[in-house]
């Protein structure tokens, strides 16, 4: 079964520091991969997605992610974190649901705290 | 462009009761998915509706049911509420029937508390 592991439950960084959030997936074929961000009390906003092609994907808010098939990873990076980046980040893989539709399988999330 | 809207934002119910949550799709989207997000967890897929029919389901019991209307809005119904049903329920809309290439647009969710 498809699964996503986000090894870090909580990460704290200083404003201006670089950031890398880890994501490992389990999927038999070429995966569709996503990173979403969730601010407190809000829904999920898509940061970026990988379907095929260039393994380095650029997203919104200055984020990027790199797909590494050999490591089954899709880590999210940002060179310089802003205080407004404090939120919870979810990695997800596209999968097939019973009935045939596509679904997203999410990791448990990584909570990012940004210190001034 | 109108985004995904969900109502109500918060709801408190008693164990054994029934609840209906509502979702209006983003303009132009014809597919609606529902996810349950328990506290401290990632969202879990409940089901998806396309052309007013359920075309995909996650590991949820039959007491979780849904509807999609001709205007693509949707309802999630939960019968015989249990304490473990307390969660944030997220609705997401997308275009096209069954493709992960279709980006999901999420609403802000309904926070359900079962006491």
The pLDDT tens digits of the residues spanning A9-42 come to: 999 999 999 999 999 999 877 789 999 999 988 8
Q: Which among B42, B103, B108 has CB closest to A43? A: B108
Q: What is the pLDDT of residue B75?
A: 98
Q: What is the pLDDT of residue B98?
A: 47
Strand partners, A24: A5, A73
When the pLDDT of each residue in chain B is averaged and rounded to a whole number, the result is 92
Q: Which among B42, B48, B99 has CB closest to A106? A: B42
Write the CB contacts of B68 (distance below 8 Å, at least 6 apart in sequence): B32, B49, B50, B51, B52, B53, B74
Q: Is the dihedral of CA B96, B98, B99, B105 positive or negative?
A: positive
- The alpha carbon of A21 is separated from its chain's Cα centroid by a whole number of angstroms, namely 7
- The alpha carbon of A27 is separated from its chain's Cα centroid by a whole number of angstroms, namely 16
Q: State pLDDT tens for residues B74-104.
A: 999 999 999 999 999 999 999 865 455 568 9
- The answer to whether the CB atoms of B106 and A45 lie below 8 A apart is yes
Q: How far is A9 from chain B (nearest CA, A)?
A: 9
The angle at the Cα of B73, spanning B58 to B8, to the nearest 5 degrees, equals 85
pLDDT, mean of residues B27-51 = 93
Q: State pLDDT tens for residues A36-94.
A: 999 988 889 999 999 888 899 999 999 999 999 999 999 999 999 999 999 999 999 99
A vs B: CB pairs below 8 A:
80
């Amino acid at each position: 079964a498809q699964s996503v592991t986000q090894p870090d439950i909580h990460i704290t960084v200083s404003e201006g520091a670089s950031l890398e959030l880890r994501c490992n997936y389990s999927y038999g074929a070429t995966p569709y991969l996503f990173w979403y961000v969730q601010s407190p009390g809000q829904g999920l906003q898509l940061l970026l997605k990988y379907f095929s092609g260039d393994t380095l994907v650029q997203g919104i808010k200055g984020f990027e992610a790199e797909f590494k098939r050999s490591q089954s990873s899709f880590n999210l990076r940002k060179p310089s974190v802003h205080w407004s980046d404090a939120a919870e980040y979810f990695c997800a893989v596209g999968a097939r649901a019973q009935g045939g539709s596509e679904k997203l399988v999410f990791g448990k999330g990584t909570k990012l705290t940004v210190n001034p | 462009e109108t985004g995904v809207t969900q109502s109500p934002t918060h709801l408190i119910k008693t164990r054994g009761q029934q609840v209906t949550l509502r979702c209006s799709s983003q303009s132009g989207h014809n597919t609606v998915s529902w996810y349950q997000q328990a506290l401290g967890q990632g969202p879990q897929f409940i089901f998806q509706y396309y052309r007013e029919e359920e075309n995909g389901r996650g590991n949820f019991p039959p007491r979780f049911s849904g509807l999609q209307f001709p205007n693509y809005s949707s309802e999630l119904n939960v019968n015989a509420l249990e304490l473990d049903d307390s969660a944030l329920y997220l609705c997401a809309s997308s275009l096209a029937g069954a493709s992960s290439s279709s980006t999901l647009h999420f609403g802000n969710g309904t926070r359900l508390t079962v006491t």
